[in-house]
Amino acid sequence: MTSCEYANIIIDISHEKVDRLFQYRIPDRLKEKIDVGSPVEVPFGRGNTLRKGYVMELTDEANWEPSKIKEILNIPADSESAEEISIKLAAWMKKYYGSTMIAALKTVLPVTKKQNKQVHKFVSLRMNLREATEYYHECVSKKQKARERIMAELLATPDERIPYELITGKLHVTAATLKSLSDKGIIRIDEEEYFRKPVAGDSSRYGTKELSPEQKEIVDSFVSDYDTGKRDTYLIHGITGSGKTEVYIALIDEIIKRGRQAIVLIPEIALTYQTLMRFYRHFGDRVSVMNSSLSPGEKYDQMERARTGDIDIIIGPRSALFTPFPNTGIIIIDEEHESTYKSESMPKFHARETAIELAKLVPGGASVVLGSATPSLESYYRAEKGQYHLFELKRRLTGGTLPQVEIADLREELRSGNRSIFSRRLQELMEDRLSKGEQAMLFINRRGLAGFVSCRSCGYVFKCPHCDVSLSEHRGGRLVCHYCGYEQPLTKICPKCGSKYVSSFRAGTQQIEDEVKKFWPGARTLRMDADTTRTKGSYDKILSAFAAKEADVLVGTQMIVKGHDFPDVTLVGILAADMSLYASDYRASERTFQLLTQAAGRAGRGEKPGNVVIQTYEPEHYSIQTAKNQDYEAFYEEEIAYRDLLRYPPISHMMSVQIMSYDEELGMQFANRLRAIMEQNKKDGAIFIGPASAAIGKINDVYRMAVYVKMDDYQGLIEYKDMLEKYIRGLEDEGKLKKISVQFDFDPVNGF
């Protein structure tokens, strides 16, 4: 275990106390038993009270005078706790992704700052019926109207409790009057604590849907593995509409029967409502939700409900992975290919790898199930190599077929004189669907009016003064930076050449909504993007309205094309299919294929056949052609060959060393120094790239640059990370690193 002399320990772990560590000496008899995460018993405070703590760090350096450092007394014999698992997971994340232990701990520990408890109050009679009747007549004779009203209500149902709010509201009795009656022993006021429940809806349980032979085969195979003690990672590759959610529900049913709990991760809040309702109709109050739209009180209560066994299933984005269930049995990651499963703050963990590690740490082990119509190359590659167990669902549950997908070449549209946002084929299909009372979805990967504003005379582009990005035009004549929030009014004169030819390239959701209203004035339109979903409940409101056919057309960004199921949508228009191809990111083709396939999958999910129109300037690109054919395997073969050629993940691993500095020259010098340190200790197969400016070289006046290292051996990258962390820590201790910060990102998913 350890040969270190000292352990830095947290006492009574909680989210708000992890910054405070206490150092203890490790006695020789415990050195072979203690590791990071181990629970220990220590003497604490002036009275040396016996307290439980957890080991955060092991070190040979004494923070105090060695003779004054107390000794660890013992390791408690009780079984592994949720806190111990959290600490071990945080230690793994620190090592695997690079971070401080405190940052890792704050990621895995649910916020446990105590919230005001919610209570229901009830009022009942304390005296017997005869005494109560006498007191009622006394109130009548003294004309004490409020007391008369409450006594009459209580005497009408003497054996029941009446809700406090009913008495203060309907009967107009003041709290002071009720307190006075309680003090006199006439009534009793009881309080009952209850948990806030963010799920509102019909909890009447539906029966389990009859599974198809394909679905049943997956469930049977999983259960067989589970009951023989096999805890594996499974990838369900199922085409859109093939019933992955029904499989998840059946798997969770089996896990709950075995007395264990389930965590279901979904990529975005936008998906929460529909997914949650499907689970809620099956499992009722045993399921809850965790996401950023909940109040602190609601979040706290969901964690308490999980800890106390009040719920069996939690559904939510990445952070729901750290729900403190006592006995997690399965972790499901739906739409596992989504980039939102990768954290963008330290530690930059990926939910997939972290879930697999957590599954190993929980008592008895847990199984991990990944699901997607367009699996990430990493997951499919591992399934092909036998590291994951691959299941496939190749048929739509409705019995319908995949939609008919067509490509509209925008170059041809321009040549033929069509300068509108909509291709002629899309216009034709929109007319047809609206006349039939069917619904359409129009998808673009932009928000607002978006685009950039430039001078058509000299080419000047309006840029943010604090970030290396162009400003986007929004309504009200505002130019907005989507990175730091900087705003300035839109001027009609070019500040560089004085020309009046200033205009914007408009290709955003607002613009599309306006164009729909212009082309089809009678069409009812809803828009769903980052601007229309800022308020709590806005996601559910828009999606519920569209599901209830209160609108004919839904215009939106990525959030409308993932996982939603609207049976009356028979047309999907993808308006800027190749926009994501232009990103300076090795995953650009994969992202484009996934987005187009997911978007196409929204059409024809009911009994009516669906059509999809992909509008593009690059119709020949393999990601667009394979998306048209809904052919994942063909895309995978093409893309994996490209990754192999350039040694990109998943063929090789990659570490991005990200340097941020207020001084550009100083930052670049430091980046060169970090590369030199690694090259002096060169490992077999290591390839170094950079340093170079990041894709966005400046955000909020901070310059950004990166050094990339590629290696087949992930452990080798961890060793490089440890080497640089040690060097940086030394500079920080000497006060020599004040204007520079460094982060590490392993197998980066999002561009830097």
Q: pLDDT, tens digit, for every residue of 688-743?
A: 988 888 877 888 889 998 999 999 999 999 999 999 988 988 887 777 777 889 99
Residues of the chain with CATH 3.30.70.600: 653-746
Question: Average of pLDDT values for 384-394?
Answer: 93
Residues of the chain with CATH 3.40.1440.60: 6-108
Residue given tokens 């017997």 in the structure block: 128
Give the least confident one: 256-265, 302-311, 434-443, 487-496: 302-311
- Per-range mean pLDDT, top range of 254-263, 313-322, 411-420, 691-700: 254-263
- Per-range mean pLDDT, top range of 196-210, 242-256, 456-470, 538-552: 242-256
**Is 322 within 8 Å of 105 (Cβ atoms)?**
no
> What distances in angstroms separate CA 452 from CA 208, 444, 460, 496, 576, one per listed residue?
50, 16, 11, 16, 15
Residues of the chain with CATH 3.40.50.300: 213-393, 404-450+506-643
pLDDT at residue 336 is higher than 80: yes
Instruction: Output the six-digit token pair for 702.
Output: 């901070």
| Res. 347 pLDDT band, cuts 50 70 90 | very high
pLDDT at residue 504 is higher than 90: no
pLDDT score for 78: 65
Rg (C-alpha) for the chain, rounded Å, is 30
End-to-end CA distance of the chain: 38
| Res. 448 pLDDT band, cuts 50 70 90 | very low
DSSP letter (8 states) at residue 4: -
pLDDT score for 257: 93
**Is 330 within 8 Å of 339 (Cβ atoms)?**
no
pLDDT at residue 219 is higher than 90: yes
CATH 3.55.30.10 fits 404-450+506-643, yes or no: no
Q: Give the DSSP H or E segment for 282.
A: helix 269-283
| Res. 484 pLDDT band, cuts 50 70 90 | low
| Res. 510 pLDDT band, cuts 50 70 90 | confident
pLDDT score for 752: 67
Give the least confident one: 30-39, 413-422, 596-605: 596-605
Q: Which CATH class is domain 653-746?
A: alpha beta
- Per-range mean pLDDT, top range of 103-107, 658-662, 728-732: 658-662
- 64 by Cβ neighbours in 10 Å (0-12 / 13-18 / 19+) ranks as exposed
pLDDT at residue 203 is higher than 50: no
Q: Is the full-model pTM beyond 0.85?
A: no
| Res. 16 pLDDT band, cuts 50 70 90 | low
Give the least confident one: 49-63, 346-360, 493-507, 669-683: 493-507
**Is 7 within 8 Å of 60 (Cβ atoms)?**
no
Spell out the residues 6+ positions from residue 349 whose beta carbon is closer than 8 angstroms to its own.
93, 96, 97, 107, 342, 343
pLDDT score for 297: 74
pLDDT score for 686: 92
What are the φ and ψ backbone dihedral angles of 643, each rounded to 5 degrees?
-65, -40
**DSSP per residue over 374-390, as a string?**
S--HHHHHHHHTTSSEE
pLDDT score for 528: 82
pLDDT in tens, 527-581: 887 667 667 667 778 877 888 888 899 988 777 766 566 778 889 998 877 777 7
pLDDT at residue 47 is higher than 90: no
> What is the CB neighbour count within 10 angstroms for residue 207?
7
Architecture of the CATH domain 6-108:
3-Layer(aba) Sandwich (3.40)
Rounded Cα–Cα distance for residues 57 and 332 (Å)? 32
> What distances in angstroms separate CA 642 from CA 177, 533, 587, 589, 600, one per listed residue?
78, 38, 11, 10, 25
**Is 125 within 8 Å of 153 (Cβ atoms)?**
no
Of 562 and 122, the structure prediction assigns the larger pLDDT to 122
Cis status of the peptide bond prior to 403, with omega within 30 of 0:
no
pLDDT score for 451: 58
pLDDT score for 226: 95
Of 86 and 539, the structure prediction assigns the larger pLDDT to 86
pLDDT at residue 384 is higher than 60: yes
**Is 123 within 8 Å of 175 (Cβ atoms)?**
no
Question: Average of pLDDT values for 143-170?
Answer: 84
pLDDT score for 562: 62
Question: Average of pLDDT values for 147-168?
Answer: 84
Instruction: Output the six-digit token pair for 730.
Output: 């030394």
Q: Give the DSSP H or E segment for 150.
A: helix 145-156
State the fold for domain 213-393: Rossmann fold (3.40.50)
Of 335 and 21, the structure prediction assigns the larger pLDDT to 335
pLDDT score for 561: 67
pLDDT at residue 467 is higher than 70: no
b/e per residue 88-100 (b: at least 16 CB within 10 A): bbbbbbbbbbbbe
